[in-house]
Amino acid sequence: MNDARPRARVVSRRRVYAGKVLELYVDDVIEPGEVRARREVVRHAGSVATLAVDDQQRVLLVRQYRYALDDEIWELPAGRIDGDEAPEAGARRELEEEAGVQAGQVEPIAFFHTTPGFCDERMFIFRATRLTLGPARPEPDERIELRWFTPDEVDRLISTGEVHEGKTLVALLLEQARRRSG
Amino acid sequence: MNDARPRARVVSRRRVYAGKVLELYVDDVIEPGEVRARREVVRHAGSVATLAVDDQQRVLLVRQYRYALDDEIWELPAGRIDGDEAPEAGARRELEEEAGVQAGQVEPIAFFHTTPGFCDERMFIFRATRLTLGPARPEPDERIELRWFTPDEVDRLISTGEVHEGKTLVALLLEQARRRSG
pLDDT for the residue numbered A139: 80
Q: Which residues of B touch A161 (CB under 8 A)?
A: 110-111
Note which residues in 144-173 of chain A have CB less than 8 A from chain B.
161, 163-167, 169-170, 173
* Alpha-carbon span B103 to B132, nearest angstrom: 6
Question: Are the Cβ atoms of A8 and B65 closer than 8 angstroms?
Answer: yes
**With 70 as the cut, is the pLDDT of residue A103 above it?**
yes
pLDDT in tens, B12-51: 999 999 999 999 999 999 999 899 999 999 999 999 999 9
In the structure, what pLDDT confidence band is assigned to residue B148 with cuts at 50, 70 and 90?
very high
For residue B14, how many other CB atoms are within 10 A of its CB? 10
Cβ contact, residue pair A120, B69, below 8 Å: yes
The contacts of residue A50 (CB under 8 Å, 6+ apart) are A76, A77, A78, A91, A92, A94, A95, A103, A106, A125, A126, A127, A128
B121, A115 Cβ separation under 8 angstroms: yes
Identify the weakest region by mean pLDDT among A137-141, B94-98, B123-127, B142-146: A137-141
Q: Is A118 on the interface with B (CB under 8 A)?
A: yes
Query: Which of B38, B118, B181 would best serve as a mutation to test chain A binding (most A beta carbons within 10 A)?
Result: B118
> CB-based contact (8 Å) between B182 and chain A?
no
- Say whether A16 and B16 touch across the interface (CB within 8 A): yes
**Phi and psi, residue A118, nearest 5°:** -145, 10
Q: Which amino acid is at A69?
A: L
pLDDT at A144: 87
Per the prediction, chain A carries an average pLDDT of 95
In this predicted structure, the answer to whether residue B142 has a pLDDT above a threshold of 80 is: no
pLDDT of residue B74: 98
| A41 vs B: CB within 8 A | yes
Is there a contact between B55 and B136 (Cβ–Cβ < 8 Å)? no
- Asked if B174 lies within 8 A of A173 by C-beta distance, the reply is yes
From chain A, pick out residues whose CB is under 8 angstroms from the CB of B19: 26, 40
Instruction: Report pTM.
Output: 0.95
- CA nearest neighbour of A170 among A109, A84, A117: A109
- What are the pLDDT digits (tens) for B47-72? 999 999 999 999 999 999 999 999 99
Residues B44, B50, B51, B54, Cα dihedral to 10° = -170
Read off the pLDDT band of B1 (50, 70, 90). very low
pLDDT at A72: 96
- Please provide the DSSP assignment of B15-63 as one string: EEEE-SSEEEEEEEEEETTTEEEEEEEEEE--EEEEEEB-TTS-EEEEE
CB contact under 8 A, B41 and A119: no
Instruction: Find, among B144, B182, B181, the residue nearest to B60 by Cα.
Output: B144
pLDDT tops 70 at residue B11: yes
Say what the ipTM of the complex is. 0.95
Domains of chain A plus CATH, in order, are 9-43 (no CATH), 47-181 (3.90.79.10)
On average, the pLDDT of chain B sits at 95
Would the CB atoms of A72 and B20 count as touching at under 8 Å? no
B100 SS3 class: coil
Burial B142-168 (b: 16+ CB within 10 A, else e): bbbebeebebeebeebbeeeebbbbbb
Instruction: Decide if A31 and B67 are in contact by the 8 Å CB cutoff.
Output: yes
Residue B143 touches chain A, beta carbons under 8 Å: yes
Which residue among B17, B66, B142 places its CB closest to the CB of A16? B17
Partner B contacted by A104 (CB < 8 A): no
Q: Looking at CA atoms only, how far is residue A131 from chain B in angstroms?
A: 26
pLDDT at position B3? 60
Could you say which DSSP state residue A49 is in?
E
In terms of CA atoms, which chain B residue is nearest residue A171? B170
**CA atoms within 13 A of residue B25's CA, in its CB half-sphere:** 17
E-state strands within A120-180? 122-133, 144-149
Sign of the CA dihedral running A20, A21, A26, A31: positive
Across the range B134-154, mean pLDDT stands at 89
State how far the Cα of B117 lies from the Cα of B133, in Å rounded to an integer: 39
Answer whether A6 sits within 8 Å of B71, measured CB to CB.
Answer: yes
More confident residue, A136 or A38: A38
Q: Give the mean model confidence (pLDDT) for residues A149-164.
A: 97
